Amino acid sequence: MIRVFIFGLSLLLLAQCQLKEPEATTATKEEPTQPKNIILLIGDGMGVTQVTSRFFYGEGEPNFQRFPYIGLIKTSSSQEKITDSAAGATAFSAGVKTYNGAIAVTDDSTSVPTILEMVSDDLSSGLIATSSIVHATPASFYAHVPARGWYEEIAAQLTTSSVDFFAGGGTQFFVDREDEVNYLDTLTAHGFVVDTAQLQKPANLSMEEKYGFLLAPDGMPRMLDGRGDFLPQATQMALDYLSQDEDGFFLMVEGSQIDWGGHANDAEYIIEEVKDFDKTLGVALDFAERDGNTLVVVTADHETGGFALSSGENYNDLVGTFSTGGHTPDLIPVFAYGPGSEIFAGIYENTAIFDKMIEASGWNQADGSVAVR
C-alpha cells in the first residue's frame, strides 16, 4: 500500500514538473548573444594603480567594479618592449602590431583598415577625447600616417573619414595651418555641423547631419583647470545621437590626460582624470544596461609613470610615487560588460582587443559587410 502511494505521488510530481516546464521556457527572456553596439573606452596611461586610485578617491562606488569580466593585455609594440599611444591604439583599432609612432599603418607603413572603417557602410561611429581629436589614440581609428606628429595631415583625413560624431580639442590643426587651408570649412562641406564654442546639444540631433565639436586649440583643459563634465556629457550626447541608428554603432571614448598626469609625475592630476573617466564609464554602462544590446570594453594603451600608491608616515597615509616620467611595459587591465563580454577574460596581446570585438559582434562577414541584427 505504501509503495502504491509513493508511486502515485511520484507520478503526480512528475506531471506537475512537465506541466510547469513550458511556462518557464516561454517566460524566459532571450538574451542577445552578439552586441549591436560597441563602446570602447580607453584610459590613456591607465594601469592597475591608476584604476586603484578611484577606490580611495572620489564619492560612491567606482563604476570599474560594475564589470563582470576582467582581463589583462600585453602591450609591447612590434619593435619595442614599451609601446607608445600610436602603436597601442593601432593594436586596438586595426588588430596589428606596429612600430611606435605609427597611425593605423603596418611596419612597412602600409595602411590597414580600422574597425571604424570596416563598419562605415552599415553602422554609425563616433570618437571623443580630452586630447586634440588628431592626437595619437583618436587618430588611429580614422587616419593613416607613418608618424603621429603629422597633425595637419591627420586633420585633413578626418574631413573625408567615415566618422559621424567627434568631440575634443585641436582647432589649430584645422585653421592655423601651414598650408593656410581652412579645414573647418572643409568639414562643413562634408556634412558636419561644427561647433568651436561649446558642447551644446542641438535642438534636433538628427542622423541627417554629422557633428563635430572642437573646443580647444590643442588638448582640452585639465580637470584641475576646470574642464568640468565635458567627457561624460560628450559621451551622453554621442550615445543620444548614435543610438538613433537602428543597425548599431561603434564609439571610442578616450580619457587622454591620465597619461599626461603620469608624464608629469603629478598624482593629483592622475587622480582627478581617473575620477572623470570613471564617471564616463557610468554613462556608458547605464546606457548599456538600458539597451541590453551593447558591449562596453574598457582598457588602456599602456601605463605611464610607474605610478604607485605608497604608504607615508603610516598605513593610512597614501602617497603617489613614480618610477619614471615615461611609459612602462606593465600588463594593463581590461573590463567588459554586455553580450560577448565573457571572451575578454584572460591574458592576451593588445591586438586581441580588436579580434575579440570583431568576434563578439560578428562584424567579420566574408564579404566584408556587417551582420546587421
Q: What's the CATH code of the domain at 165?
A: 3.40.720.10
The 3-state DSSP class for residue 128 equals strand
- Reported for 199-208, long-range contacts at CB under 8 A and 24+ positions apart, including other chains, are 199/167, 199/230, 199/233, 199/234, 199/237, 201/237, 201/240, 205/237, 205/240, 205/241, 205/244, 207/124, 207/241, 207/244, 207/245
| Residues sharing a CB contact under 8 Å with residue 89, sequence separation 6 or more, in sequence order | 42, 136, 137, 138, 139, 140, 141, 301
User: Could you tell me if residue 142 is inside a domain?
Assistant: yes
In-domain check, residue 367? no
Is pLDDT of 18 > 90? no
Rounded to whole angstroms, the Cα distance separating 361 from 216 reads 35
| Cβ count within 10 A of residue 342 | 11
Can you give the pTM of this predicted structure?
A: 0.90
Task: Identify residue 143 by its one-letter amino acid code.
Answer: A
In a domain, 157, yes or no: yes
Q: Tell me: pLDDT of 17 over 60.
A: no
Angle among Cα 343, 345, 347 to the nearest 5 degrees reads 115
Q: Determine, yes or no, domain membership for 370.
A: no
Amino acid identity of residue 118, one-letter, is M
Question: Residue holding cell 592597475?
Answer: 48
The position carrying cell 571610442 is 252
Average pLDDT, the chain: 91
Whole-angstrom distance, CA of residue 92 vs CA of residue 42: 10
Q: For 181-239, write each residue's pLDDT tens digit.
A: 999 999 999 999 999 999 999 989 999 999 999 999 999 999 999 999 999 999 999 99
User: Tens digits of per-residue pLDDT, 116-175?
Assistant: 999 999 999 999 999 999 999 999 999 999 999 999 999 999 999 999 999 999 999 999
Domain interval for residue 314? 43-115+123-361
- DSSP states along 305-368: S--EEEE-SSTT-EEEE-S-SSEE---EEEEEESTTGGGG-EEEETTHHHHHHHHHHT---TTS
User: What is the number of domains present in the chain?
Assistant: 1
In a domain, 21, yes or no: no
60, burial (CB in 10 Å: exposed 0-12, middle 13-18, buried 19+): exposed
Q: Is residue 7 part of a domain?
A: no
| 27 pLDDT higher than 90 | no
Residue 309, beta-bridge partner list: 320
Which alpha helices (H) appear in the chain, and where do they start and end?
Answer: 2-27, 48-53, 85-94, 115-118, 136-139, 151-159, 172-175, 183-189, 230-242, 257-263, 267-291, 352-361
Residue 31 has pLDDT above 80, yes or no: no
Q: What is the grid cell recorded at 142?
A: 580614422
Whether 30 maps to a domain, the answer reads no
Q: Can you tell me the distance from the alpha carbon of 97 to that of 86, in angstroms, rounded to the nearest whole number?
A: 11
170, 207 contact by CB (below 8 A): no
Q: Cell numbers 591627420 label which residue?
A: 154
Question: Looking at the domain assignment, is residue 36 inside a domain?
Answer: no
